[in-house]
C-alpha cells in the first residue's frame, strides 16, 4: 500500500524529503536554484509539523491528524535529501 501511494504521489510531481520524511510539491518555479538546493513555494504532505524548516520559501503542508492545510514561511529544499528512486 505504501509503494502504491508513493508511486501515485510521484506521478503527481510530489517529491519525498528523506530528512523530514515528508512529501513536497512545487507551486511555482524556484526563486533560487543551485546544485545543492532550491528555494521555492511548495506543498508539503505530512502527518504533523514538529520541526522548523530553515530557508527562504513558503510552503503548505497537510496535517492529516487535524485534517487541514497549514502555511509556513521559510524553506530550502536541499537536494541531498531528495528521494530519487524510480518507482516503475
**In the predicted model, what is the mean pLDDT of residues 64-74?**
63
The reply to whether 27 falls in a domain is yes
Please give the Cα distance from 12 to 73 (Å, whole number): 23
Please give the Cα distance from 63 to 50 (Å, whole number): 11
User: What's the Rg (C-alpha) of the chain?
Assistant: 13
Range of the domain at 35: 2-82
* 80's grid cell: 541531498
Question: What is the per-residue pLDDT for 10?
Answer: 84
The reply to whether 65 falls in a domain is yes
Got the DSSP string for 27-47? SS--SEE-SSEEE--EEEEES
Is the pTM of the predicted complex or chain greater than 0.75? no
The reply to whether 88 falls in a domain is no
Domain count of the fold of the chain = 1
The reply to whether 25 falls in a domain is yes
The reply to whether 87 falls in a domain is no
With cut-offs at 50, 70 and 90, classify the pLDDT of residue 48. Answer: very low
Q: Match 520541526 to its residue by C-alpha cell.
A: 51
Residue with the bigger pLDDT between 53 and 30: it is: 30
Question: What is the per-residue pLDDT for 6?
Answer: 85
Residue 47 sits in a domain of what CATH number?
2.30.30.1020
Amino acid at each position: 500500500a505504501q509503494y502504491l501511494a508513493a508511486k501515485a504521489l510521484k506521478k503527481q510531481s510530489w517529491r519525498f524529503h528523506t530528512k523530514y520524511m515528508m512529501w513536497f510539491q512545487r507551486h511555482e518555479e524556484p526563486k533560487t536554484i543551485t546544485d545543492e538546493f532550491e528555494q521555492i513555494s511548495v506543498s508539503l504532505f505530512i502527518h504533523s509539523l514538529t520541526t522548523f524548516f530553515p530557508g527562504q520559501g513558503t510552503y503548505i503542508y497537510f496535517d492529516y491528524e487535524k485534517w487541514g492545510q497549514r502555511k509556513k514561511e521559510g524553506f530550502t529544499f536541499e537536494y541531498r535529501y531528495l528521494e530519487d528512486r524510480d518507482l516503475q
